[in-house]
Amino acid sequence: MKILVAVKRVIDYNVQIRVKEDGSGVVTDNVKMSTNPPDDNAIEEAVKLKEAGKASEVIVVSVGDEKAQETVRKALAVGADRGILVKAEGMIEPLAVSKILMKIVGKEKPDLVFMGKQAIDDDCNQTGQMLAALLKWPQATFASKIEVKDKSLEVTREVDEGLETIEVNTPAIITCDLRLNEPRYASLPNIMKAKKKPIEQINASDLSVDTKPRIEQIKVEEPPKRKAGIKVASVEELVQKLKNEAKVI
């Protein structure tokens, strides 16, 4: 069984986001970038399945600029076998990413595609579901537990009401929740080894996919600032303020 894992390079989750003064986006120059956090869970799950003898190969793919190669390399350092970087400049919308991934799926013929449930930059939560639709494959989104069966997977999904379990036939798309597993750190020897693993580079423009944005970003602005609050000295004062000042209890 072959697993393709899609990863995205995003601004690190700990970075305080700054909006550009001209309203054209957020500041990304000299800002720490990392793998989108739930994509780390996707890689971990694929590598675990390989270690358990259930997967034969783990291929990692990223769509982005030249630097996204670092993100692919990091996945190789924690156990993916080989990488693919689809080079594309600028903002690539989830619809275009899913069309690119569809081409990669056509070429690599994986049995499963894993990715994070949501990218923490655009917060779109679309790509996995879109890829599933284009491929006419089933989807198991927000997965917090995956059990591999003969020709299907049993997946526990985190939904608003609690947990839902569904069975999806393979091939399938799984989007991973942060609670699926605990991603490992790459060891130094494995980081060295990953440098020798192959990363194939493809230009998005060679895949005949239209990557032009359909959505115009008119402006990006800072959220309204919350008025600074006060510190209260005691529980009594807190309750009194909530009752008489804020009038919420």
Partner 1 sequence: MSVLLISEHNNKEVKPFTYNAISAASQINEDLHVLVLGSNSENVAKSISEVPNVKKVIHVDNSMYENYLAENYTSAITKISENYSHIICSANTFGKNLMPRVAALLDVSQVSDITKVISEDTFLRPIYAGNAFATVKSNDKIKCVTIRPTSFDPAPTTGGSAEIENGNPGDETSLSKFIKKEEIKSDRPELGTARVVISGGRGMQSGENFKLITAVADKLNAAIGASRAAVDAGYITNDHQVGQTGKVVVPDLYIAVGISGAIQHLAGMKESKVIVAINKDGEAPIFSVADYGLEADLFDALPKFLEELNKLNTIQK
Within 35-74, which residues bind partner 1 (CB under 8 A)?
38
Q: Which of 79, 83, 138, 183 forms a contact with partner 1 (CB under 8 A)?
A: 138
- The answer to the question of residue 133 lying near partner 1 (CB under 8 A) is yes
Our finding on whether 167 is near partner 1 (CB under 8 A) is: yes
Question: Are the C-beta atoms of residues 135 and 77 closer than 8 Å to each other?
Answer: no
Does 151 contact partner 1 by CB under 8 A? Answer: no
The span from the CA of 201 to the CA of 87, in Å, is 7
Number of Cβ atoms within 10 Å of the Cβ of 15: 15
Would you count residue 31 as binding partner 1 (CB under 8 A)? no
21 part of the interface to partner 1, by CB under 8 A = no
Positions in 183-212 near partner 1 (CB under 8 A): none
Phi, then psi, of 220 in degrees rounded to 5: -125, 130
Cβ–Cβ under 8 Å, residues 35 and 71 = yes
Examine residue 14 and tell whether it contacts partner 1 (CB under 8 A). Answer: yes
- Cβ atoms of 75 and 20 within 8 Å: the answer is no
Least Å distance, CB 32 to partner 1, is 14
* 129 binding partner 1? (CB under 8 A): yes
Q: Any contact of residue 176 with partner 1 (CB under 8 A)?
A: no
Q: Which range of residues in 61-69, 78-86, 106-114, 133-141 is near partner 1 by CB under 8 A?
A: 133-141
Among the candidate windows 41-49, 70-78, 103-111, 214-222, which touches partner 1 by CB under 8 A? Answer: 214-222
Report residue 85 as tokens: 């970087």
C-beta atoms surrounding 23 within 10 Å: 12
Residue 199: how many CB atoms within 10 A of its CB? 16
